[in-house]
Amino acid sequence: MSGGALRVAVLCGGTSAERDVSIVSGAQVVGALRRLGHEVRVVDTAHGLLDDEAERRLLDTKVAVAPPETGAMARVPSTAGGLAATFPRDCDVVFLALHGGTGEDGTLQALLDLAGLPYTGTGHLGSGVAMDKDLSKRLMRAAGVPTPDWAMHPADEAQIAHLGWPLVVKPNRQGSTIGLSVVREAAGLRPAIERVLALDTEVMLERFVPGRELTVGVLDGHALAVGEIVLPADGVFDYEDKYQGVVREMFPADLPPEVAEQARSLALRAHAALKLGDYSRADFRLDAQGRLWCLELNTLPGMTATSLMPQSAAAMGMAFPALCERLCRLALRRCGSGGQDVGSRVAG
């Protein structure tokens, strides 16, 4: 079936705080792949394989202004462990449209590896490394990729003085800036830490780098176009900004050629240092002195047609449906499958 129509299971939803974002990504991926003639089924890790009516209801979901509360997500069931019952028996490839939690931290990737199912993105090792911001920053720094100074909570007064104010406080293992605060004075530090501890057991304190927010997609070993997120007045690109369309995004960014090339080079270097797979998105700050600082890498970036990764590809001439199909083909190539019936390996 190589080069022909594929049977794709789009995996979305899940039980992380980014569930809504995942569903919106999944809806657009489903539509794009179906327009190309592929056979697509939808699997929600919270509910399993969906029938047509359940699919329609799920994919009508919109991203709320704020992420769901932790208590609400704890009540969402999970069937991710039951792969044989969850996936269509005859799928060729699983398209991961999950964000955050066990969908992005390598847990589900490991289950899919055990089941012998090709899937898009990065394997379980790289996924886990990239989700852990402390570990990924250590690896980036070792590879010569500049990243802002940081300390893990609890930090002593000397460490906090070194980082300075304002200070970024964020979960060590979350995406979409969920739980992130920019603390401008000591009195706000404890409440910010407590907000993070409601989401994660580890809290990162990071030096705030004022400047321009840049992003670079990486696809199949090549860096894509550099984009810029025009930041709001407070200099923070938060959850509402990301998903409610209240900021302007420019692809390609208006940058000197040498700065754009350096961003692309650093994105590739960081991608390799974290042992990432077929694609990723690197986020940077460009400070007033013209220095680039890598904030983090995302192994499953948002996949709506207007998300940053698809915009990075579109600026290089790759339309959204073509990007979705390319990711499926890369998964099959990485797993050594030309698209034959691999789903039978989980049928029993």
Catalytically annotated residues: 18, 176, 243, 281, 283, 296, 298, 302
Cα-only R_g, the chain: 20
Tell me, what amino acid is at 30?
A: V
| CA distances (Å), origin 156, targets 55, 119, 161, 225 | 50, 43, 9, 40
**CA atoms of 173 and 177, how far apart (whole Å):** 10
Can you list the pairs that 56-62 forms with residues at least 24 positions away whose Cβ atoms lie under 8 Å?
58/12, 58/13, 58/23, 59/23, 59/26, 59/27, 59/30, 60/27, 61/20, 61/23, 61/24, 61/27, 62/20, 62/24
Structure-token match 């990723």, residue found? 280
Q: What angle do CA 87, 43, 112 make, to 5 degrees?
A: 50
| DSSP code of residue 68 | P
Classify each residue of 322-334 as buried b or exposed e, where b means 16 or more C-beta atoms within 10 Å of its C-beta: ebbbbbbbbbbeb
Residue of 22, 24, 97, 99 whose CA lies nearest to 59? 24
The string of DSSP codes covering 223-240 is: EEEEEEEE--TTS---HH
Element (H, E) at 282: strand 279-286
CA atoms in the 13 A half-sphere facing the CB of 214: 28
| CA distances (Å), origin 66, targets 60, 69, 188 | 18, 9, 21
